[in-house]
Structure 1
Amino acid sequence: MTKRSVIKFGGTSVADFTKLKNIAGYLKKRTEQDEQLVVVVSAMGKTTDELLRNVDLLSSAPNEQDLALLLTTGEQQTISYLSIILKELDVRTQALTGFQAGIRTKGHHLKSKILNIKEQKFEETFSSHDVIVVAGFQGMNELGEITTLGRGGSDTTAVAIASALDVSCEIYTDVAGVYGTDPRIFPAKRLDYVSYEEMMEMSALGAGVLETRSVEIAKNYNIPIYLGQTLSDEKGTWIMAQEEILEKKAVTGVALDKDMDYVTVSYPMNDSELLKKLFELLEKEEVNIDMISQIVNMDGLQISFTMKDTDAQQIDKIFSVLKEEYPSLNFVIQEDYVKVSVIGSGMRDMSGVASKVFMTLLNHNIPFYQVTTSEISISYVVDQANGQEAVKQLCAVFEL
């Protein structure tokens, strides 16, 4: 019986024609072993960044629909080039945009969510092709408009297609799996297995290996994800259900989130209506916030939270709306902070992790300004200058 798999290659893996040709040769060998493949690709190298720089020359507040239409051209270049190369190798190939692949989305144009995928399109295409090359990061909404899935959206595309076809998903990038932390900061060991829950926490808290939504989809549909280095024989990491992993460590990893802003909102009165409107607007603009703290005293109301720096345009829009009704409202967006998080499913059953983290930071004179916890993580806001040092010390104390 013909085996099917979904394979995803990131932007660095498809950065030039030489790399694309090497990938095409690898895919040809797999088809010769009686496999049918869906290959999801990102834009080549820094193409998306270049497109955004061009936009900055034209507008400070571009229309989201126009921007989504532009950004999806990066992935479309990649699928076209790869399909051309595969056909030169006599591989039966079909290239599909997100729209052509039947990826239906909803929500904002620049960070929409996948509503559904039409499995029938893939079945029909596989009847006469062995490799389907799909543009990651994109889909089409109910109005027929092209949308993007936000940062890391190609991961989400790949896992969603794997879920629709009920097959495993392989994601290849420039690192050989999941490490206890960024190996450029600390020489942590590579992990053979990571649970869905741990990977979701690590991704959400700044470990830029996989997009959080992709892991959530995999968990919901029990789709194993293999994360490895492109065209390497080095062993990678399997991401799977917790119950399939025998060894549970107190701490699996330490994440550093540098792509965040720290927001402080103050108002001279304790106005619950203001808070209600703030959170309504955050929901409407789909701005995810974290580490929320609120202070009410004689000086009025103060609320602080962290958010992704990619939501800066939306947050400016929100505060512009609020300032019209609340002229005394004050808000400060600070970019010189980072979030350091300790993650591990073993925290549920092992005591002393929180105190060990606190003591490590205190012993190394690393101040922290805000703390939040979940069942399997503890996060701290620290000064940007102390971020990497905090990661190093925490990795050392937990022997990662």
Structure 2
Amino acid sequence: MSTVVHKYGGTSMGSIEKIKSVARKLISEKEKGNDVVVVVSAMGKTTNKLVELTKEISNNPDKREFDMLLSIGEQISISLLAIAIKSYGYDAISFTGYQAGIKTKGMHTKSNIVDIDIDKIRKNLGQGKIVIIAGFQGVNENGDITTLGRGGSDTTAVALAAKLGCDCTIYTDVEGIYPVDPKLYPNAKKLDYIGYKEMIEMSKLGAGVMETTSVEIGYKNNVSIYVASSSKDTKGTYITEKQNCGDNKSIFGIAINDNTSIFTIKNVLLKSNDMSLISGILSDENLSIKVINQISSKGDYTDFSLVISKGDLGCIDEAINKIKSKLAHIDISKDLDVTTISVVGGGINNNNIIANILEILKNNDIKFKKIITSELSISFIVDINDKAKIIELLGNEFNL
């Protein structure tokens, strides 16, 4: 007998009929003689609806109370799934993150799993039950419910697999991992395998199938992650230690991140405490700043820009108001109509590849606002209206 961890996302839990279908699949796995642990997300658009309700009250809600609200969605899912399994005559039990022993630390809405006490899970598996756990949540040292941020249910599933010493299957609404989002580039060819490091880079840069932290946990604990369709019986993609996936391509993917915005701060006095005051206010708002660039300097003044996530707009607006109240000479503008397109590959530092990409953009009259580089990627922040054209050009160029 072996233990298996499954994760089902919001789409596969989007209705009572879909929940019944998931229940039958889990029962089938149990009938093979396996111990079954399943992590589930909130039903359909439940989390989005909860966020919208919050926005009717505040664009920058108290983070502790926000976590309390968001955790409700998964609790609905786990209880309904347990009821469905029991209606078919099989035993099951549902646990919130707290009940499952998932311990977290860090700020609310962006916490990290630090440990999982699996005694209760093992005890119930030993009693022959299918164990159902709410993804996306845990409890911190103060006993408060915390959430794990985007893709937190993936993180929960892989962390549980690591703790239980077993593999993890992530069921989603796509058939596996693609080098480019097939909704944006229909010619994209599904991968049979992708290495941990390659997947981590793609995830960091916006590829939406897997959350970065979940793959990092898999990498550190050598957990094999299988990503497959929740609705089709087709071959998925393994995320493993296997490097380059048997493919020697220098470019293996394009990641797109529409959750991008640029803020430009002008007229910062160089010989003053302007910079330290601005930095302090930004730090107090717990903003996730991706890039800070100095744009230009004129005499005693300088201008610089920040690249941040659109999800932090409420926080940045608060920060802007505080900065302007203390520094009346500062001018701040924002550009929200942008996206980040990242070309990912082990050969990205090859000057010929970079020159080739730049030539393609130039020949098609595409201008970029910023370039960001790393060991495995080169990212372009561009006007969102150019996104489709760039994806098609680069997808064709690198045979993705």
Relative to the length of structure 2, the TM-score reads: 0.94
Alpha-carbon distance in 2 for matches of 1:126, 1:214: 23
Q: Give secondary structure in 1 for the equivalent of 2:348.
A: helix
Residue deviations 1:320-349, cap 9 Å, x none? 34334433222222210111110112436x
Residue of structure 1 in register with 2:309 after alignment:
308
- Match runs of 1:346-365 below 5 Å: 346-347=347-348, 352-365=352-365
8 Å CA contact retained: 2:346, 2:376: yes
Worse-matched range after superposition: 237-246 or 150-159? 237-246
| Residue 233 of structure 1: how far off its partner (Å) | 1.8
Residue of structure 1 in register with 2:220 after alignment:
220
- Match runs of 1:192-231 below 5 Å: 192-231=192-231
| Residue 289 of structure 1: how far off its partner (Å) | 2.1
- Match runs of 1:21-170 below 5 Å: 21-170=20-169
Residue deviations 1:70-116, cap 9 Å, x none? 11111100000000001112222110001101111112221211121
> What amino acid is the match of 2:307?
T
8 Å CA contact retained: 2:41, 2:73: yes
Q: Give secondary structure in 1 for the equivalent of 2:213.
A: helix
| Residue 244 of structure 1: how far off its partner (Å) | 7.5
Q: Give secondary structure in 1 for the equivalent of 2:61.
A: coil
Residue of structure 1 in register with 2:334 after alignment:
333
> What amino acid is the match of 2:193?
Y
Alpha-carbon distance in 2 for matches of 1:220, 1:288: 24
8 Å CA contact retained: 2:60, 2:315: no
8 Å CA contact retained: 2:262, 2:334: yes
> What amino acid is the match of 1:206?
G
Alpha-carbon distance in 1 for matches of 2:140, 2:274: 32
Alpha-carbon distance in 2 for matches of 1:277, 1:162: 44
| Residue 294 of structure 1: how far off its partner (Å) | 1.1
Relative to the length of structure 1, the TM-score reads: 0.94
May I ask how many residue pairs the two structures share in their alignment? Answer: 398
8 Å CA contact retained: 1:104, 1:116: yes
8 Å CA contact retained: 1:255, 1:391: no
8 Å CA contact retained: 2:11, 2:173: yes
Alpha-carbon distance in 2 for matches of 1:58, 1:314: 15
Change in 2 beyond 3 A, CA 1:272/1:136? farther
Residue deviations 1:132-162, cap 9 Å, x none? 1001111111111111111111111111111
% same residue = 38
> What amino acid is the match of 2:247?
E
Q: Give secondary structure in 2 for the equivalent of 1:178.
A: coil
Alpha-carbon distance in 1 for matches of 2:102, 2:173: 27
8 Å CA contact retained: 2:2, 2:35: yes
Change in 2 beyond 3 A, CA 1:131/1:106? same
Residue of structure 1 in register with 2:379 after alignment:
379
> What amino acid is the match of 2:44?
G
Unaligned segments of structure 2, at least 5 residues:
none
Residue of structure 2 in register with 1:368 after alignment:
368
Q: Give secondary structure in 2 for the equivalent of 1:67.
A: helix
Alpha-carbon distance in 2 for matches of 1:399, 1:296: 39
Alpha-carbon distance in 2 for matches of 1:234, 1:48: 29
Alpha-carbon distance in 1 for matches of 2:162, 2:236: 21
